[in-house]
């Protein structure tokens, strides 16, 4: 059971609450002022005029944006699943009792965390053909996303498991459970709740990292935005196209956050599974 909030830090008094409220109000005012200046400059330069936005009415333009969105979501979905699986496997390897597995897993994590993602994409798409292996832009993007983000997620998973109080695992071992059962029924259910915000943050990073596929001509949102924004037939609507694509990315990130909040509420309604572990001490 998590410690009460009051145990973790002092509850702010009236003066502290007043300062926090004032700081929040000032921050909000500054942000609103910056947004107002941006909107004013866009309006002053004619970027909000209806004639500048006629490009979005063309069916081919809409289809191009939808195609870019589909390619972005496709790369994100496959990359996220593979990165989560790889991260979980590497985390288990780093938590293993076998020194060889710990060493190999640690080496893989440190290697792919240190290599920039764009270098991985270039290596897969432009480097592998020199070794006789040709991959598509989609495969190169997904492999890069999987390896880089999987290495980062491995550290998140490992830190989440190690953050569970040691007494939880000691009590489970005292009941006769094996390590696999302790991990599945005791440590992971408690760790997931604390790891969820970090996992979602990394998935948001992964979603935005799909835009790096533009550099190897993968036709995702940024690639389509560059094509449409520089199209002289459409009067080169670079800023309007960029605003539309930015709004799409913001909407996708907000959707991820909403899904994470739903999962967190669901996990709180179904606290986990220590009771199941007690009923099945063999860990099977």
Q: Which is nearest to 92 in space by CA: 166, 187, 172, 165? A: 187
pLDDT at position 132: 87
Looking at residue 114, what is its pLDDT?
A: 92
Chain-wide mean pLDDT for the chain? Answer: 83
C-alpha–C-alpha distance, residues 28 and 272, integer Å: 39
pLDDT at 46 (0 to 100): 81
The domains found in the chain, sorted by start residue, are 58-279 (1.10.3720.10)
> What's the CA gap between 209 and 213, in Å, rounded?
8
Tell me the two tokens of residue 133: 């292996």
CA–CA dist 80, 205 (Å, integer): 10
Both tokens of residue 255?
Answer: 């959707």
Instruction: Tell me the per-residue pLDDT of 41-90, one tens digit each, with 9 for 90 and over.
Output: 888 888 878 888 888 889 999 999 999 999 999 999 999 999 999 998 99
**Which of the four pLDDT bands, split at 50, 70 and 90, describes residue 6?**
very low
- Listed in sequence order, the residues at least 6 apart from 192 whose beta carbon sits closer than 8 Å to its beta carbon are 160, 267
Q: Quick one: 142 exposed, middle or buried, by C-beta within 10 A (0-12, 13-18, 19+)?
A: buried
Question: For the chain, what percent of residues have pLDDT higher than 90?
Answer: 43
Stretch 93-108: mean pLDDT, rounded?
A: 88
DSSP code at position 125 = I
Question: What is d(CA 122, CA 217) in angstroms, rounded to the nearest whole number?
Answer: 11
- What is the per-residue pLDDT for 269? 63
Say how far apart CA 204 and CA 254 lie, in whole Å.
9
Per-residue pLDDT, 125: 94
Q: Name 18's Cβ contacts closer than 8 Å, sequence gap at least 6.
A: none
274 to each of 74, 147, 175, 196, how far by Cα in Å? 37, 33, 12, 19
Task: Decide: 284 and 276 in contact? Cβ < 8 Å.
Answer: no
CA dist 235 and 228 (Å) reads 9
- Assign 233 to helix, strand or coil: helix
Compute the distance between CA of residue 75 and CA of residue 267 in angstroms, rounded to an integer. 28
**Residue 278: how many other CB atoms lie within 10 Å:** 14
Torsions phi, psi for 20 (to 5 deg):
-65, -40
Q: In the numeric block, which tokens belong to residue 61?
A: 């333009």
Please state the rounded mean pLDDT for residues 6-24.
Answer: 73
pLDDT tens, residue by residue, 173-222: 677 777 666 676 677 777 777 788 888 889 999 999 999 999 999 999 99
- CB neighbours of 263 closer than 8 A, spacing ≥ 6? 196
Residue 272's pLDDT band (cuts 50, 70, 90): very low
């Amino acid at each position: 059971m998590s410690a009460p909030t009051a145990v973790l830090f002092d509850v702010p008094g009236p003066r502290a609450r007043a300062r926090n409220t004032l700081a929040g109000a000032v921050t909000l005012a500054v942000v609103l002022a910056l947004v107002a200046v941006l909107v004013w400059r866009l309006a002053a330069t004619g970027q909000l005029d209806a004639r500048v936005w006629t490009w979005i009415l063309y069916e081919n333009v809409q289809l191009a944006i939808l195609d870019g969105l589909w390619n972005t979501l496709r790369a994100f979905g496959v990359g996220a699943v593979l990165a989560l699986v790889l991260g979980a496997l590497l985390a288990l390897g780093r938590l293993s009792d076998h020194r060889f597995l710990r060493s190999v897993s640690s080496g893989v994590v440190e290697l792919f965390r240190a290599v920039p993602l764009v270098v991985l994409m270039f290596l897969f798409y432009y480097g592998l053909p020199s070794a006789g292996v040709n991959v598509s832009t989609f495969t190169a993007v997904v492999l890069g996303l999987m390896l880089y983000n999987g290495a980062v997620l491995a550290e998140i998973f490992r830190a989440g498991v190690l953050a569970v109080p040691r007494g939880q695992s000691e009590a489970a071992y005292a009941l006769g459970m094996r390590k696999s059962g302790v991990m599945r029924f005791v440590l992971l259910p408690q760790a997931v709740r604390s790891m969820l915000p970090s996992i979602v943050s990394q998935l948001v990073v992964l979603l935005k990292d799909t835009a790096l596929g533009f550099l190897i001509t993968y036709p995702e949102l940024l690639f389509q935005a560059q094509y449409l924004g520089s199209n002289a037939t459409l009067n080169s609507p670079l800023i309007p196209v960029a605003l539309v694509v930015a709004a799409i990315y913001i909407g996708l990130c907000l959707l991820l956050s909403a899904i994470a909040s739903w999962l967190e509420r669901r996990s709180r309604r179904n606290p986990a599974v220590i009771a199941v572990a007690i009923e099945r001490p063999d860990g099977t």
